């Protein structure tokens, strides 16, 4: 699949295509350029949003505000799933939205110091995973990292580091990868079809959050 960073057609004269991924399957996706400080802004946004909600009501966050936050998060997951599966097209701003919403939810359930520790541990796991993919792509597949691993997948992985405490995050993430592989094997139409990993993972995390809010899963913030 060939992914290209470019603006919509009405702004094509100002856009410069940047190739970020190639494979044997011809396809094009449109992903707006991501600002360099985006991960830092997401962390700051989580901390500031969480603190503001705690200052407004230190004992118990507003159910209305939390309900809106959950609805935004689920909506972002659904849009990523739909766009990635249908067109391999994902708007970049959905990833910081997911990171911000999951981060605020995590911050509401853990202390400030544990929040930062959790994010760093989860980020270390994602970094290790991407490192393994890099080594496999370089020495086994003889490909560049971005030829074997989509930019959108990487951005989603980074956004998800704000989701759960470290042990539940590792468990949910691994099961999410297994779920994605199994679902793709069932739904794929051709052997050469690329895997919409960001879409499948978004679907799995949306189901996980829904199960937690409905009371079927209770340990994602306590282990």
Lowest mean pLDDT among 18-27, 67-76, 198-207: 18-27
71: closest CA among 169, 209, 164, 173? 209
Q: 149-195 pLDDT, tens per residue?
A: 788 888 999 999 999 999 999 999 999 999 998 998 888 776 656 78
List 162's β-bridge partners, or say none.
Answer: none
Q: Is the pLDDT of residue 124 over 70?
A: yes
Global confidence as pTM = 0.73
pLDDT in tens, 57-69: 445 567 788 889 9
Q: Please, where are the H alpha helices in 22-165?
A: 38-56, 63-87, 94-109, 112-135, 145-148, 151-159
């Amino acid at each position: 699949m060939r992914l290209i960073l470019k603006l919509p057609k009405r702004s094509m004269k100002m856009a410069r295509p940047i190739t970020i991924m190639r494979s044997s399957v011809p396809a094009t996706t449109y992903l707006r350029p991501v600002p360099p400080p985006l991960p830092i802004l997401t962390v700051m946004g989580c901390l500031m949003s969480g603190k503001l909600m705690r200052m407004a009501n230190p004992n118990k966050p507003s159910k209305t505000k939390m309900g809106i936050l959950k609805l935004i998060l689920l909506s972002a997951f659904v849009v990523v799933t739909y766009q990635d599966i249908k067109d391999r097209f994902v708007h970049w701003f959905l990833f910081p939205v997911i990171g911000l919403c999951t981060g605020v939810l995590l911050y509401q359930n853990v202390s400030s110091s544990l929040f930062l520790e959790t994010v760093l541990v989860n980020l270390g796991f994602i970094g290790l995973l991407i490192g393994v993919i890099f080594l496999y792509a370089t020495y086994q597949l003889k490909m560049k990292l971005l030829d074997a691993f989509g930019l959108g997948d990487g951005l989603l992985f980074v956004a998800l580091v704000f989701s759960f405490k470290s042990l539940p995050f590792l468990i949910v993430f691994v099961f999410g990868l297994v779920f994605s592989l199994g679902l793709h094997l069932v739904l794929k139409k051709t052997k050469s079809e690329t895997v919409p990993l960001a879409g499948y993972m978004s679907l799995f995390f949306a189901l996980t959050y829904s199960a937690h809010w409905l009371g079927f899963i209770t340990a994602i913030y306590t282990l």
